[in-house]
Amino acid sequence: MASSNTLLCIHRDPAQLRSLQKNGYKLVNATNGHDGLRLLASQSVDAIVLDYQLVILDGIFVANEIKRAHPTIPIVMLADDLELPNGALSSVDALVTKSDGAHFLWATVHFVLNVKPTQRSERKLSTQMPGYPRRAGRSAGQAHHFHTGASLDPKDAPFSPKEWRSIQMGIVRF
């Protein structure tokens, strides 16, 4: 269960994200980009769940504005499918399609809040420690991008393939 992290949900239909609340997250909701950016300026949040297809400001614009002002806040983008314009994900930490389901969204939010920061810290420590063995082919500071679908070294993966299948089926608990 989540440790009462606060999520800013910028979504046309915030009711679709109630499963996050049921899993212990506090939700702050906005139904459009303008309201979402205003809420972000006035409230502290741990992560953002952002709908790609917003009415006035699209999700890409909103994500870019958020990362410009708050580069460390993770953004999980929800989209109808994976066909997005080039550069659409440059300000996004993870992408979830709506067909993946609520359990996969929850697992992804859990990942960007708990696993990804730990991986960043470990990578930073490994580049600062003299004599720490590095894997071949990876330069200091080079990171995997969760949303790009880049293949991960199995040793770097936050979950095993079996665990990912369980997450997709909605039967895994953290």
pLDDT at res. 115? 78
- Radius of gyration of the chain measured on its C-alpha atoms: 16
Asked if residue 99 has pLDDT above 60, the reply is yes
pLDDT at res. 43? 93
Domain encompassing residue 74: 1-174
CA angle, corner 46, sides to 149 and 118, nearest 5? 55
Return the CATH number at 115: 3.40.50.2300
- Of 129, 94, 108, 132, give the one whose Cα is nearest residue 2: 108
Averaged pLDDT for residues 83-104: 85
- Of 110, 119, 67, 114, give the one whose Cα is nearest residue 88: 67
Domain count, the chain: 1
CA angle, corner 63, sides to 61 and 12, nearest 5? 80
pLDDT at res. 122? 53
- Of 107, 61, 87, give the one whose Cα is nearest residue 96: 107
Q: How far apart are CA 141 and CA 116, in angstroms?
A: 14
pLDDT tens, residue by residue, 49-87:
999 988 778 888 999 999 999 999 999 999 887 777 777
Q: What is the pTM of this model?
A: 0.68
* φ/ψ (deg, to 5) at 79: -135, 160
